[in-house]
Structure 1
Amino acid sequence: MPSLASHLHRARRVTVGLTLGGLLALAEMVQVVLLTPIHVIPAARAPIEAFGGKLVDLNRRRLVAYLNLDDLLFVRPTWQRTESYLARRFIVGLLGAMVLTLIVIGLGSAVIMGWQVVDGRPVGGGKEGNTWYEIGAIAVLGLVLLFGAVWTLIGVTIIERALAVRYLGPTEEELLRRRVSQLATTRAGVVEAINDERRRIERDLHDGVQQRLVALGLLLGRARRATDPGRTEDLLRQAHEESQQALRDLREVTWRVYPTALDEGGLRTALEGVAERSGVPVSLRYELAGRLDLATETAAYFVASEAVTNALKHGGPSRIEIDVAVEGEGIVVAVRDDGCGAADSAGSGLSGLASRVAAADGVFVVDSPEGGPTVVRAWLPVLVGV
């Protein structure tokens, strides 16, 4: 729950934002009332549109800095949308400025009347003394007016946000264009992630399993040619150990291609397998109540598995933590290690994870300062409720 200090800080920011909005309303009124009518003159169009664009840009900065609006929601509006926005915004801005002015006047009057009561003088400068009934009535009336003024400011803030989203936000056409661009980028990322995965599997089979099988064949060949029974037994023992290691390597490759534990026990079981196979202690904090859709579980598993592998390979950690929790309409998978840090997010491992997460319409972030710790965090939307 937010503290009183955070509420006061937010109230101060909103007050500053509305005050600046009131000052901008004066310039916006000049734009709408005086300059817009002469916009039909060709020579005046460029400076008038530039001035309107400057007012919109100032409002955008004010809304982002003081009213907590996301800067990504804004686009450069057309002249028609700019004028529609400013024509409505300056009325709202003036309303906010008037309410703030009344609040300041009211608070100043309350301070003066309070001092008069403490000093024993009649409230308002009259000649007769004050009764407690009159003082109480004035106090209650002041509180009611203050309550109404505060809620009016809240309404002004809501209208400010709504106008910005309506006139300065992206149109349906712009949203569609962004989505098409995002899908094209995601598709390219998926293709690249698949190619990286194929290259990794080929490399694991060539450098791992294949080399084990070659060594196994050599040992068996030497055992067949050996004449000393003791030597033959020793070579067969080595061949048996090599075959067991080849099986373990092959099992590791198949786990990295697709873990069967996802089908059998779900994401928790698969992540417990990741923790068990790790060479350093791995703690798992899993806060999901039920099963996820298979696509989300697979993406979450590979984020955790590859992040752990990357940490063991490059970070030299002594401990790794895996957290899986619900956040909004999706889940968060976070892997934290106490290694040396300075992880390269553009490297093949982490960039492949970023592509995999982007393909699922998720968000992937790597925080790895020099000296650690490294935190790999992925947010993934959930198709089926958790």
Structure 2
Amino acid sequence: MVRGVRAVAGLLLGFFSGLVGLLVVVLARPAAQGFADWERRRIRRFLDLDSAEPTRPRAIRYLLVRAPVGLLGGFVLSWLFYGLALGAIAAQRIIVNGLDGIDWYDDVTATVWTAAIGGVLLYVEVQGIIGVVALEAKVARRCLGPSEAELLRRRIDELAESRAGVVAAVDAERRRIERDLHDGVQQRLVALGMLLGRARRHPEHADELLRQAHEESRHVLEDLRDVAWRVYPVALDSLGLADALETVADRSSIPITIHCGHHETSTPVRTALYFVVSEAVTNAVKHSGATMIRVDITGDGDEVRVRIEDDGVGGADPAGGGLAGLARRVSALDGRFAVRSPAGGPTVITAEVPCG
């Protein structure tokens, strides 16, 4: 109730300030910044809306755009006051005349009908007031921008969401490593142990069994290298992003064309770009049915952009585990991540990350 009264008072002041603001822009532009600052205090005090401190050009634009909003607010309130006045007159008439002076058919019927219409109009008025308050907020944010407090709140929310996403991504990566070790390396080591045990028990077949054990040990080393490479590629530090991505291309069963210039980036940024490309290539090889993958990495000194496109069947799910993990990884660096994969293809994955 108190908040509603404050909103009505704020819109009533806004009606007059809209007219005054228009006059200020037309007749006294040097005062526009000060008057716009007063408007900021009005909407913060009465409407609980916060906005940034205006510069002079922003103040002039805000006052010009806000003037029609103030007039609209005054129009809505005029109907509210008109309805309240009619209700007060009807109530006074009943009180003055008393129950004996009422025509129970005509007066009561008219009163009930008027009350029903008044209830509907009151609801419309309340929605109109809410709409004008929302319009005030939109104009303030569009013309003045969000306040520092609001920007900080947004940043805190983004960081909290990003932190939760990073924790989830780390847990998912640990599960994937455990699964790779269990299903790959561990199984091969068990087979290797069994072959060596059979060689000890059956010396007459030792040469063949040792040959098989040697072959199995080679596969174990390959699996260990694959797991280690997926955890973190050493080539990324020793050779750089371009050479690390060439290794990804060499290991892929689908031809990959990579265009990657030299970009001055931090280690976390290079790591994120590498895993975006690596995971996108892995998904394309497993699910897309593509015959070609193209990777383009460009930058302008402030941010680096990577674009991965394949000619597969499309239908990639951005909410899937792998792509969602990449989105969280990029978001943790204040970057942007997008997936476009219509049915029938092509699939295009893009990421933009600040260089620092």
TM exceeds 0.5?
yes
**What are the equivalent positions in structure 2 for 1:242-321 lying under 5 Å apart?**
242-287=216-261, 289-321=262-294
Are the structure 2 counterparts of residues 88 and 194 from structure 1 closer, same or farther at C-alpha, using a change threshold of 3 Å? same
One of 158, 170, 180 as aligned partner of 1:194: 170
**Count of residues in correspondence between the two structures:** 249
One of 195, 200, 212 as aligned partner of 1:238: 212
Deviations 1:244-277 (A, max 9, x none): 1111110011111111101111111110111111
Deviations 1:199-218 (A, max 9, x none): 11111111111111111112
Q: State the shift of 1:177 in Å.
A: 0.8
One-letter identity of the residue aligned with 2:63: R
Does the 8 A contact of 1:332 with 1:379 survive in 2? yes
Q: Give secondary structure in 2 for the equivalent of 1:213.
A: helix
Q: State the shift of 1:176 in Å.
A: 0.9
**What are the equivalent positions in structure 2 for 1:1-386 lying under 5 Å apart?**
78=44, 88-89=63-64, 167-228=143-204, 231-287=205-261, 289-327=262-300, 329-383=302-356
Distance 1:379 1:305 in 2: 16
One-letter identity of the residue aligned with 2:317: D
Are the structure 2 counterparts of residues 234 and 89 from structure 1 closer, same or farther at C-alpha, using a change threshold of 3 Å? same
Are the structure 2 counterparts of residues 175 and 244 from structure 1 closer, same or farther at C-alpha, using a change threshold of 3 Å? same
Distance 1:41 1:223 in 2: 89
CA-atom RMSD in angstroms: 3.3
Distance 1:224 1:51 in 2: 99
Does the 8 A contact of 1:266 with 1:291 survive in 2? no
One-letter identity of the residue aligned with 1:293: S
Q: State the shift of 1:234 in Å.
A: 2.5
Q: Give secondary structure in 1 for the equivalent of 2:351.
A: strand
Deviations 1:166-207 (A, max 9, x none): 744211111111111111111111111111111111111111
Q: State the shift of 1:225 in Å.
A: 2.3
Distance 1:332 1:43 in 2: 49
Does the 8 A contact of 1:332 with 1:380 survive in 2? yes
Q: State the shift of 1:338 in Å.
A: 1.6
Distance 1:366 1:296 in 2: 19
Distance 1:205 1:312 in 2: 21
Deviations 1:277-296 (A, max 9, x none): 11121111112x34421111
One-letter identity of the residue aligned with 1:88: L
Distance 2:7 2:259 in 1: 66
Does the 8 A contact of 1:81 with 1:168 survive in 2? no
Indicate the residue corresponding to 1:12 in structure 2.
none
One-letter identity of the residue aligned with 2:160: A
TM-score (norm 2): 0.62
Are the structure 2 counterparts of residues 194 and 52 from structure 1 closer, same or farther at C-alpha, using a change threshold of 3 Å? farther
One-letter identity of the residue aligned with 1:353: L
Distance 1:359 1:167 in 2: 30
Does the 8 A contact of 2:263 with 2:301 survive in 1? no
Identical columns (%): 53
Q: State the shift of 1:226 in Å.
A: 2.5
Are the structure 2 counterparts of residues 176 and 233 from structure 1 closer, same or farther at C-alpha, using a change threshold of 3 Å? same
Indicate the residue corresponding to 1:73 in structure 2.
none
Does the 8 A contact of 2:264 with 2:355 survive in 1? no
Distance 1:352 1:275 in 2: 21
Q: State the shift of 1:41 in Å.
A: 11
Q: Give secondary structure in 2 for the equivalent of 1:196.
A: helix
Does the 8 A contact of 1:299 with 1:357 survive in 2? yes
Q: Give secondary structure in 1 for the equivalent of 2:207.
A: helix
Distance 1:343 1:41 in 2: 50
Unaligned ranges ≥5, structure 1: 1-39, 54-76, 94-162
Does the 8 A contact of 2:330 with 2:351 survive in 1? yes
Unaligned ranges ≥5, structure 2: 19-42, 52-58, 69-138
Are the structure 2 counterparts of residues 47 and 342 from structure 1 closer, same or farther at C-alpha, using a change threshold of 3 Å? farther
Distance 1:305 1:282 in 2: 11
Distance 2:17 2:282 in 1: 54
Q: State the shift of 1:236 in Å.
A: 1.9
